[in-house]
Structure formats: structure tokens, C-alpha cells
């Protein structure tokens, strides 16, 4: 199976960051699992690496720090260190730069979209939830 291939079914797709790519750089998650309603990528920053500063014209972004610790530097001169498990939201027009100031790689998952929250539209699917039988 190719690294970028996903497991798919009727109305779903699944993959992993390791299957999508290797080494530092972008993992094009949106493309790999055919996401249509938002942008989603993963970024692996090598140790002591600083990404280029950027902003967007329309797309708000949410960053989830999957592994490591990353420093966000914003256009107003403020910085924010975020550890694994942390999340950061950035307005489209706000300049941002990601820095890995550590000696270990950092993995970040980035979601971007325009158009707003659609509200709570989940509907029951037929099976009830609860704890799985441990046997």
C-alpha cells in the first residue's frame, strides 16, 4: 500500500500521519482522506526550526499540538508556548510563525476554514453508546 493511501468506506476515510508522509514538512491530510469542507494538514517541524511567517485572506486556523512544544509568534509581537495536547486559534489576518525551539521534532495538526460554525446538527444513528464489554 502506498504511503498516502487511505482506508475508505461508504462515506468515510481513515489514514495516519505516518502513512501520509515521513520526515519534516507538511502532511496533506485533506487530500489523503478527501476532506471537502475545511483545510487540514499536519506539520512536522525539525528541532531548532522556524517556519516562515504567514497570514490568510479568509481562513481562520486552529492548531493542535500533537507532539512536542511549539512557540507561536504573532504579528503584534506576542508569543505563546504550547505543549502537546494544546490548541491555538488564529484569525485569518493575524500574522503567525511557528518555532520549534527544542531538540526534538514537533508535530502539529492544522485545521482551517471559512464560513462559520454550522451548529449542533448531530442526529442519533441507531446504536446507543456506553462502555464496551471488556471480554
What is the fold of 23-113? Answer: Jelly Rolls (2.60.120)
pLDDT at position 2 is 46
Residue 49 CB: number of other CB atoms within 10 A? Answer: 15
Q: Mean pLDDT, to the nearest integer, of 6-20?
A: 95
Helix or strand (DSSP H, E) at 42? strand 39-45
Structure confidence by residue, pLDDT tens digits, 42-74: 999 999 999 999 999 999 999 999 999 999 999
Q: What is the C-alpha radius of gyration for the chain, rounded to an integer number of angstroms? A: 17
Structure confidence by residue, pLDDT tens digits, 98-130: 999 999 999 999 999 998 888 877 778 877 777
pLDDT at position 126 is 76
Amino acid at each position: 500500500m502506498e504511503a498516502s493511501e487511505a482506508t475508505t468506506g461508504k462515506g468515510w476515510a481513515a489514514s495516519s500521519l505516518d502513512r501520509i508522509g515521513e520526515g519534516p514538512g507538511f502532511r496533506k491530510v485533506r487530500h489523503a482522506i478527501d476532506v471537502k469542507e475545511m483545510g487540514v494538514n499536519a506539520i512536522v517541524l525539525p528541532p531548532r526550526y522556524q517556519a516562515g511567517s504567514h497570514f490568510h485572506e479568509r481562513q481562520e486556523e486552529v492548531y493542535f499540538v500533537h507532539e512536542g512544544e511549539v512557540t507561536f509568534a504573532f504579528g503584534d509581537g506576542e508569543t505563546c508556548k504550547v505543549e502537546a495536547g494544546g490548541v491555538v486559534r488564529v484569525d485569518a489576518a493575524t500574522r503567525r510563525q511557528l518555532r520549534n525551539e527544542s531538540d526534538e521534532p514537533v508535530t502539529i495538526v492544522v485545521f482551517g476554514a471559512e464560513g462559520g460554525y454550522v451548529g449542533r446538527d448531530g442526529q442519533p444513528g441507531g446504536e446507543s453508546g456506553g462502555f464496551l464489554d471488556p471480554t
